[in-house]
Chain A
Amino acid sequence: IAGITQAPTSQILAAGRRMTLRCTQDMRHNAMYWYRQDLGLGLRLIHYSNTAGTTGKGEVPDGYSVSRANTDDFPLTLASAVPSQTSVYFCASSDSVAGGNEQFFGPGTRLTVL
């Protein structure tokens, strides 16, 4: 793989179910992020990780959890999905140590909660 990948591409989920969105990058970036994007709103940060083993809460963390066991993977889990979590989810990464600043985005996961 080259860059950053996400799985699944799309998913329809019943309310109350548990779901994990996967994100993997092969650029050895230290920082990774999860955003949700809703119509008419900007990208909103859910959780982030500055380095493997550490995570932090973003603007809209409720109902979501993350882990960062290694540099490459940053899964996002919805413990009990609700319809308001219907959105497009983007994972991103950046090399903040080298000062490049730019965030690289995965292709997104379109999630519908019914």
Chain B
Amino acid sequence: GQNIDQPTEMTATEGAIVQINCTYQTSGFNGLFWYQQHAGEAPTFLSYNVLDGLEEKGRFSSFLSRSKGYSYLLLKELQMKDSASYLCAVKVSNDLLIWGAGTKLIIKP
């Protein structure tokens, strides 16, 4: 079967750092995506990891461990605009993604 787990909701303080975890068990693996989705809007691409290790892109970083079936998204210097849902998705074949239910991140001043 296919399974992707993320925490349902997290709360963090403006200016702080937060780590959102994602664990997966899938029949295939061709990479892992993180997307951001603001309420009422479409998901937008944040990062893609296919090899183990850390990918850094400005305030956002994403880590992957294929042997552990584990990824995390690290957000630094949190801003109020970072309040959104963060979706983890695994590419299981050439064109197909399996999605987690998403983590709603609430930023408090």
Residues of chain A touching chain B, judged by Cβ–Cβ distance below 8 Å, are: 31, 33, 35, 40-45, 48, 50, 58, 90, 94, 96, 101-108
CB within 8 Å for A42 and B99 given contacts A96-B94, A101-B31 = yes
**B101/A40 in contact, CB under 8 A:** yes
**B99/A48 in contact, CB under 8 A:** no
**A43/B43 in contact, CB under 8 A:** yes
**Chain B: interface residue total (CB-CB under 8 A):** 22
**B43/A105 in contact, CB under 8 A:** yes
A31 to B96, CA, bound (A): 10
A35 to B65, CA, bound (A): 27
Residues of chain B touching chain A, judged by Cβ–Cβ distance below 8 Å, are: 4, 8, 31, 33, 41-45, 48, 87, 89, 91, 94-102
- B42 to chain A: closest CB distance in Å? 4
Which of A33, A44, A105 is within 8 Å of B42, CB to CB?
A105
CB within 8 Å for A90 and B42 given contacts A43-B87, A101-B48 = yes
Which of B8, B41, B95, B100 is within 8 Å of A96, CB to CB?
B95
**A102/B48 in contact, CB under 8 A:** yes
